[in-house]
């Protein structure tokens, strides 16, 4: 197959996306596919850009310049300023034409416009096949407010919450302390805070608005953290996530050795079945297709609460879905192939 791997973009998860993209690119090359890895925002402006079909067979390592993830957020404004062209388009030069020439586009994008349904809707209009769920479910899952509304409507367990309002930083937390503060449309725990004092609560509310105009306040669930992938409607083994320090934030997600991850999770068969059932129910409630990953907290009484759904979960060396697949005997290259195969079902 001719495959484009789209990575990069302009979200705070840009660096994570590149590492996911490079791993997917290498895995698909190993399987014998003709693969291109490009930055969706910078695009491709080589001298051969007008002959898009030749790009798939050119002797080039498209992942050669990918660097490891650091613990610092990327400077998005600096990235935009360094763009080779002056266009305001999210798609860089020749991106759409290259994707149209492929059999499928593997979306290794994370966060922002890459995961909120906008890219998916645009690719639909251009007749481009892509991996993952469609634009409506992408939009619902990316916006934590609408995720919460849908889960409440379906009576699925999720921590009690409210949308922050102007002046809330001058009031006590509605759920006591600690609580959770999160931007409505962030990813990789960017813009997520767990204040333990009133001073931290006020400061974190102000900080969260740096990542968007809408913020949620959520009841803190003390307990163990888990995640469960659903691929083609089927739940996979559960991973328990135990950061060595703090919570599962950006640093603990992507810096090797920061978190202990156990797959399959060492919990009872009953608890496993409970989390897997909720994961599938959330997947269906949000109208998802192909694959997704749901995150959970389980309190000290064994009650499981869904925190959010991820429509384009990470595919980095420390990512969770590859661990779940490995637990059932699917190695990384064959996982990438599986995600392509289940995604192609949308077009039949």
pLDDT tens digits, 264-312: 999 999 999 999 999 999 999 999 999 999 999 999 999 999 999 999 9
Closest by CA position to 4, among listed 48, 69, 53: 53
Q: What is the pLDDT confidence band of residue 238, given thresholds at 50, 70 and 90?
A: very high
Closest by CA position to 119, among listed 135, 105, 108: 135
Closest by CA position to 320, among listed 31, 20, 28: 20
Residue 246 reports pLDDT greater than 60: no
Architecture of domain 142-158+221-329: 2-Layer Sandwich (3.30)
Q: What are the backbone angles phi and psi of residue 54, rounded to the nearest 5°? A: -70, -20
SS3 content of the chain, % helix, strand, coil (to 5): 35, 20, 45
Distance CA 338, CA 148 (A): 29
> Exposed e or buried b for every residue in 273-307, given b needs 16+ CB within 10 A?
ebbbebbbbbbebbebbbbbbbbbbbeeeeebbbb
Distance CA 60, CA 134 (A): 31
Check residue 316 and give its pLDDT: 83
In this prediction, residues 312-326 reach a mean pLDDT of 92
Over pLDDT 90: what percentage of the chain? 75
Architecture of domain 2-130: 3-Layer(aba) Sandwich (3.40)
Rg (CA), the chain: 20
Beta strands in 172-273 (DSSP E): 179-183, 192-193, 215-219, 223-231, 234-235, 239-243, 259-262
Q: Share the mean pLDDT of the chain.
A: 91
Distance CA 74, CA 79 (A): 8
Tens of pLDDT, residue by residue over 28-72, are: 999 999 999 999 999 998 878 888 989 999 999 999 877 655 666
CATH 3.30.1490.20 range(s) for the chain read 162-219
Q: What is the CATH number of domain 162-219?
A: 3.30.1490.20
**Burial (Cβ within 10 Å: 0-12, 13-18, ≥19) of residue 243:** middle
Q: Which two tokens stand for residue 242?
A: 């135990």
pTM: 0.90
CATH 3.30.470.20 range(s) for the chain read 142-158+221-329
Closest by CA position to 132, among listed 202, 33, 230: 230
- Report which of residues 81 and 317 the model is more confident about: 81
Check residue 218 and give its pLDDT: 96
CATH 3.40.50.20 range(s) for the chain read 2-130
């Amino acid at each position: 197959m001719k495959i484009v791997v789209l990575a990069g973009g302009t979200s705070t998860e840009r660096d994570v996306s590149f590492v996911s993209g490079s791993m997917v690119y290498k895995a698909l090359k190993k399987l014998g596919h003709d693969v291109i890895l490009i930055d969706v925002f910078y695009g491709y402006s080589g001298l051969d850009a007008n002959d898009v079909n030749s790009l798939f067979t050119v002797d080039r390592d498209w992942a050669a310049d990918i660097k490891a993830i650091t613990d610092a957020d990327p400077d998005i404004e600096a990235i935009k300023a360094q763009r080779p062209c002056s266009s305001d388009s999210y798609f860089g030069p020749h991106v759409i034409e290259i994707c149209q020439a492929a059999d499928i586009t593997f979306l290794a994008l994370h966060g922002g416009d890459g995961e909120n349904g906008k890219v998916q809707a645009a690719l639909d209009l251009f007749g481009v096949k892509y991996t993952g769920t469609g634009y409506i479910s992408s939009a619902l899952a990316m916006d934590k407010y609408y995720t919460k509304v849908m889960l409440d409507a379906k009576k699925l367990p999720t921590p009690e919450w409210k949308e922050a309002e102007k002046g809330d930083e001058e009031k006590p937390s509605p759920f006591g302390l600690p609580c959770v503060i999160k931007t409505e449309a962030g990813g990789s725990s960017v813009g997520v805070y767990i204040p333990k004092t009133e001073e931290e609560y006020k400061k974190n509310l102000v900080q969260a608005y740096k990542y968007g105009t809408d913020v949620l306040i959520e009841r803190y669930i003390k307990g163990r953290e888990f995640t469960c992938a659903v691929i083609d409607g089927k739940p996979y083994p559960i991973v328990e996530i135990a950061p060595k320090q703090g919570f599962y934030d950006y640093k603990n997600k992507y810096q090797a050795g920061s978190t202990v991850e156990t797959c399959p999770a060492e919990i009872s068969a009953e608890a496993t079945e409970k989390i897997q059932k909720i994961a599938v129910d959330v997947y269906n409630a949000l109208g998802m297709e192909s694959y997704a990953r749901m995150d959970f907290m389980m309190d000290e009484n064994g009650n499981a609460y869904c925190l959010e759904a991820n429509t384009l979960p990470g595919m980095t060396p420390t990512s969770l879905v590859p661990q779940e697949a490995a637990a059932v005997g699917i190695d990384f290259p064959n996982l990438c192939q599986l995600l392509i195969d289940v995604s192609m079902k949308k077009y039949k």
